[in-house]
């Protein structure tokens, strides 16, 4: 069964071009011109992946709001921002709201498809593990359930996105080992640039610190990457 992609884009020509291109690659596509029509559909059924522009008609940041609403419904559905807005602040805002990727419209179509396929590959891995006994990793106060994609810190649930979960897993699996950005991308089974990886790390730290202000297990190895520091 082909994957279902929701495309939320207010420019008719751009919406049409991307819809046709994605369909040619075998995806089912539902296209929406505004946040409200997309949200009404998502209240009935969520797609397998959502692509959102930031500005949607009169709503300058309607895409950010829609991202927040989708995340409230599901932590697993991959979300990609595809927008002309290329400021670092916008990128950070999108990732903080739970997007898995933030792309600008100057990228090539093959590059977009690569990012989409990588996210779907991750979902396939998750689904293949559903019937196996739950695999747990415990590192001090951290517990990761790899099959249910759940994370707990000191028995409190962490609301991690799929990308964030696999980054934490890559770090915590071998405490003390430095993971560079390429290794973290491989672990998350996606393609991210350096600034996007950095934004994900910042967001992950904030989620831990919201539960534990003293959290300091994700440490930066300057010029090299990041490591998990295990506190006994």
Angstrom CA distances, 139 to 45, 159, 217, stand at 36, 18, 10
pLDDT score for 56: 94
Whole-number pLDDT of residue 175: 92
C-alpha–C-alpha distance, residues 96 and 31, integer Å = 25
Q: What is the pLDDT of residue 185?
A: 79
Q: Tell me, what's the pLDDT at 127? A: 64
Residue 219 φ/ψ, nearest 5 degrees: -110, 145
- Report whether 121 contacts 114 (CB < 8 A): no
The confidence score (pLDDT) of residue 128 equals: 65
Q: Rounded to the nearest 5 degrees, what angle is found at the Cα of 70, between the Cα atoms of 101 and 80?
A: 15
**In whole angstroms, what separates CA 52 from the centre of its chain?**
13
| Average of per-residue pLDDT across 45-52 | 96
Q: Are 9 and 21 in contact (CB under 8 A)?
A: no
pLDDT of residue 146: 81
Give per-residue burial for 16-28: e unless 16+ CB within 10 Å, then b.
eebbeebeebebe
Q: Label residue 207 by pLDDT band (50, 70, 90).
A: very high
The structure tokens listed for 231 are 């506190």
Q: Residue 48's pLDDT band (boundaries 50, 70, 90)?
A: very high
Answer positive or negative: Cα dihedral of 171, 156, 191, 76: positive
Answer whether residue 59 shows pLDDT above 90. yes
Quote the pLDDT of residue 196: 78
| Residue pLDDT, tens place only, 141-172 | 999 988 778 899 999 999 888 888 989 999 99
Q: What is the reported pTM?
A: 0.64
Residue 75 CB partners (closer than 8 Å, separation 6+): 98, 149, 159, 160, 161, 162
**pLDDT surpasses 60 at 131:** no
Per-residue pLDDT at 27: 95
Confidence of residue 2 (pLDDT cuts 50, 70, 90): confident
The tokens of 158 are what? 């962490």
In this predicted structure, what is the pLDDT of residue 133? 56
> In percent, how much of the chain has pLDDT > 90?
60
Alpha carbon distance 18, 78 (integer Å): 18
Does residue 25 register a pLDDT over 80?
yes
SS3 call for 231 = coil
| pLDDT bucket at 93, cuts 50 / 70 / 90 | confident
């Amino acid at each position: 069964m082909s994957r279902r992609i929701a495309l939320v884009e207010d420019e008719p020509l751009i919406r049409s071009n991307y819809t046709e291109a994605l369909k040619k690659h075998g995806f089912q596509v539902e296209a929406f011109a505004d946040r409200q029509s997309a949200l009404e559909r998502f209240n009935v059924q969520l797609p397998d992946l959502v692509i959102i522009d930031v500005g949607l008609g009169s709503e300058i940041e309607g895409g950010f709001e829609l991202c927040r609403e989708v995340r409230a419904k599901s932590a697993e559905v991959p979300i990609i921002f595809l927008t002309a807005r290329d400021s670092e602040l916008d990128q950070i805002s999108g990732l903080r709201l739970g997007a898995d990727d933030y792309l600008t419209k100057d990228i090539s179509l093959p590059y977009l498809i690569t990012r989409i396929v990588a996210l779907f590959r991750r979902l396939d891995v998750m689904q293949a593990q559903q019937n196996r006994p739950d695999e747990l990793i415990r590192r001090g106060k951290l517990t990761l359930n790899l099959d249910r994609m759940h994370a707990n810190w000191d028995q409190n649930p962490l609301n991690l996105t799929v990308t964030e979960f696999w980054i934490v897993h890559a770090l915590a699996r071998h405490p003390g080992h430095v993971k560079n950005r390429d290794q973290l991308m491989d672990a998350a089974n996606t393609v991210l640039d350096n600034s996007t990886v950095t934004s994900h790390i910042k967001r992950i730290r904030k989620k831990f610190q919201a539960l534990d202000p003293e959290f300091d297990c994700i440490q930066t190895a300057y010029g090299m990457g990041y490591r998990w520091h295990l506190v006994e």
